[in-house]
Amino acid sequence: MIEIDGSWGEGGGQLVRTAVALAAINGAAIRVLNVRARRGKPGLAPQHLAAVRAVATICDAQTENLELGASAFTFSPRELKGGEFRFEIGTAGSITLVLQALLPALVASRKRARVTVGGGSDVRQAPPVDYLAAVMLRHLARMGAPMTLKVERRGYYPRGGGEVSIEIEPCALQPIKRSVPGALEQLKGISHVANLPAHIAERMRGAAIAQLAAFADRTNIAVRVLGDREATGRGGAIVAWAETEHTVLGAARVAEIGVSAETLGAAVGRELRADIESGATVDAHAADQLLVYLALAGPGSFFTTRELTSHAQTAIWLIGRFLPVRFVTEREGRLYRVSAVA
């Protein structure tokens, strides 16, 4: 049994999600200690518990001490399977973070699957669902793993009530080799609110566009105002992405009480502009999520990113415990080059 120290690196939920995904992929039994030790409320929170239970379901894993607030648990996987699955977080916990744990294992299974997850579609400290659809799934499609995502309903803190479905076909991942982004083709985005005044979404959009003024002729950020039929509760988010010849770069913020629409929109615009101007081929948020897929594709992949986050460093350390691929990171001017090698 492999022991994983949950306080290593960023010491949060991402380490737990990645650990169980990797265990399911290579069939290794694990014991995770010091779960989320670096967080204000350590132990398994509802969304982390839902993610581990979801991965356990798709590989018939045996678990011990898998309960709310647990500071340690064991996870012993069997064979990965496809099929149709439904998982409920039971709170406004992030749907995209549960999918972050599930998708690598489902891709590795090379079996057809359809997954529906209920919870929060756009919540703080997690990728909004539009970022998953417009950025992460585009990267995976270019690696040979096309997926179809449908937002059945949006849900926000504190009620949740959102629902997202995703379909995965059997596939074999191919390495990606991205040294330059290529010419900028277009900037797109979605600024949305649910059961809130339209001007909030419009102000987020306006602030983002102001930061992206240099690319005004290629920018199209749509505004969406949702009602009770399309969303549970009140909330919103802004997601923008740059489509280039060879890649896609994205940035996102979720609306929150006490933070102005202008602040959120400007942050997205600045972040995306910085990635475009740096010449990066993957944004920092996608970089840590892509690493496990690069490992599954085998040696040969590489990309550049403007920032190597603690999440990325944690993923690199974890992957080395499970899969026969290691990562080399090198500084190239303003960028980091990340390469998967044997």
User: The domain 184-278 is classified under which CATH number: 1.10.150.530, 3.30.360.20, 3.40.50.150, 3.30.420.40?
Assistant: 3.30.360.20
The helix, strand and coil proportions of the chain, stated in percent and rounded to the nearest 5, come to 35, 30, 35
For range 170-199, the mean pLDDT: 97
User: What local confidence, expressed as pLDDT, does residue 28 receive?
Assistant: 95
In this predicted structure, what is the pLDDT of residue 96? 97
Q: What is the pLDDT of residue 306?
A: 97
Q: Strand 219-226's sheet: what is its strand order?
A: 219-226, 184-194, 235-244, 248-254
pLDDT band at 9 (very low <50, low <70, confident <90, very high): confident
- Cα–Cα distance list, 340 to 39, 158, 291 (Å): 30, 40, 8
Strand ranges, E, within the chain: 2-5, 30-33, 62-64, 73-76, 83-88, 113-119, 147-155, 162-168, 184-194, 219-226, 231-232, 235-244, 248-254, 302-305, 326-332, 335-341
What is the longest distance spanned by two Cα atoms in the chain?
Answer: 56
- Using alpha carbons only, what angle is made at residue 24 by residues 18 and 25, rounded to the nearest 5 degrees? 90
Q: What is the pLDDT of residues 40-64, one digit of tens each?
A: 899 999 999 999 999 999 999 999 9
Q: What is the pLDDT of residue 167?
A: 98
Q: What is the mean pLDDT of residues 298-324?
A: 95
Please provide the CATH number assigned to the domain covering 2-177+282-334. Answer: 3.65.10.20
Give exposure, 87-120, as e/b (b: 16+ Cβ within 10 Å).
bebebbbbbbbbbbbbbbbbbbbebebebbbbbb
User: What pLDDT shows up at residue 31?
Assistant: 98
pLDDT tops 90 at residue 329: yes
The band of 154, judged by pLDDT with boundaries at 50, 70 and 90, is very high
**Segments making up each domain of the chain, as ranges:** 2-177+282-334, 184-278
For residue 206, what pLDDT is reported?
Answer: 98
Query: What is the pLDDT at residue 43?
Result: 95
* Average pLDDT value over all residues in the chain: 96
Per-residue pLDDT averaged across 257-284, rounded?
A: 97
Instruction: Supply angle C-alpha 96, 105, 311, rounded to 5.
Output: 55
Q: Which residues are part of the catalytic machinery?
A: 311
Q: Evaluate whether 2-177+282-334 and 184-278 have a shared fold.
A: no
Looking at residue 38, its pLDDT comes to 87
Q: Over 90: is that where the pLDDT of 209 sits?
A: yes
